A = this chain, B = another copy of it.
Amino acid sequence: MSAHFDLLKTDTHTAARRGRLRTRHGVVETPIFMPVGTQGTVKALTPAHLKEIGSQIILGNTYHLNLRPGSERVRALGGLHRFMGWDGPILTDSGGFQVFSLAKLREVREDGIAFQSHLDGANLFLGPREVMQIQANLGSDIAMVIDECPPWPCEREVCARAVERSLRWAGQCRDIARDSGFLAAGHHVFGIVQGSTFDDLRREAAEGLAALDLPGYAVGGVSVGEPEPEMLKQVGAATPFMPADKPRYTMGLGTPPQMLKMIALGVDMFDCVLPSRVARNGLVFTPEGPLNLRNERHKDDPSPISAEVVNYTTSFSRAYLRHLVIAEEMLAGTLLTLHNLHFYLDLMRQAREHIEAGNYFAWHRSWVERYEVGAAERLRKA
C-alpha cells in the first residue's frame, strides 16, 4: 500500500477496484472521472457548478496554459488553483499529447519535442525539464511525465523507439521532481504507458515505469483513431503490469460504457472532453443512451432529459432545453455541460457503490446493455 493511495477493495469477478487517492488539495474517491479544464476553465461551467455536480478533481492542460496565459504568470498569480478558483485537486497533463494533435511543425528529438505554437507560430520546446517546471509553476497536484505518443496505426520499430524514449524521459521527470522537492512536497508524478497495439511493448513500458516507483500510472496513446475493441485490448494489455498499489488512469477516455468496461479492467481514473464537447452541440447522456436535443420530436416535450437523473438541468423540460439549443443561447452550453458532466460523475459514484457492494460485474453488464439497446432504439427512431 502506498502512503497516498488506499486500495480499499478489489472486485472478485472483475479487476475493478475501489480506491482513495490523497493529494495536496484533498482526497479523491476512485473510480473517478475528471472534468477537463483545458484553458483554466471547465468550458461553460463555474467552479461552483463543478462542486454542485460532485466533481472531486479536474484536469488542466499544460500545453494550452503554457501558451496562454503562460505558466510563469499563473505562478505569479498564486498557482492554477487560485487563478481559476478551484480549491480541489488538479491533474495536469504534460502537454505532449497536444503537441502531437495541435502544434505545427513538430520534431521529436532525443531530448524532447520542438514545435510551433498553434496560436502564433512561436518556436517552442518541451522536454522533461520544461514540462516539470511548467507543472510546478501551475502547482499541479498530479503532474504527468512527458511522453511520445505514436500514431495509430504504427510500425513496431517506430513504437519501440517511442517507448524507449518515453521511458527515459519518465526517469528524467522523476529525478527532476525528486531533486527539486516537488515529490517531497506531496505533489504526485504519474508515468504513462505507451506501446500502441503491441502487447509486449505495452508490458515492457509498464514494467519499465513500475521500476521508477512513481506515485501513479496512466495508459496513453489510446483513443487515437483505433476501433474500440483494439482500444480495450490495449488497456487490458497494460493494466496487469501496472502496480496494483498505485492509481491507474487511462488518458482521454471515453464513452460511458467504455469507462465501465475499463473499470472492469482495473482502471481508476478517467478524463475526456467528450461529454462537454457533445453538450455544446445539443447531445445529452441518459441511462438509455445519448439523446439529441436538436431533434424535432422534443419540441413540445415537457419531460426532463431523464426521470432518473437529478441535477439542475433535469429541472427543465426537453422542450425548453431544445429551444435554447436551437436559439443558440449560451445557457444551452452551460446547462447541457452541467448535465453531461454530472452524468459522468454520477456514473462513477454508482460504480464505486457497486464495487463496494460486490456486484460490479452484473451491474455494469446490465447498465451497458440498457444503454446500448436504448441508443440503438433512438437511432432507429431518429
Contact = CB atoms under 8 A, between A and B. Distances in A.
Interface of A: 39-41, 43-46, 48, 68-69, 73, 76-78, 83-85, 299-300, 302, 312, 315-317, 319-320, 323-324, 326-327, 329-331, 333-335
B73 A331 contact: no
B43 A331 contact: yes
Number of copies of this protein chain within its complex: 2
20 contacts: A39-B324, A39-B327, A40-B320, A40-B327, A41-B324, A43-B329, A43-B330, A43-B331, A44-B331, A46-B312, A46-B331, A46-B334, A46-B335, A68-B327, A73-B299, A73-B319, A83-B317, A83-B319, A85-B315, A334-B334
A158 to B, nearest CB: 34
Given A44-B334, A83-B319, 14 more contacts: A40-B324, A43-B329, A43-B330, A45-B331, A48-B312, A76-B300, A77-B319, A78-B302, A83-B317, A83-B320, A84-B320, A85-B315, A85-B320, A330-B333
A31 to B, nearest CB: 27
A330 B330 contact: yes
A326 B69 CA distance: 9
B334 A330 contact: yes
Contacts of A48: 312
B320 A77 contact: yes
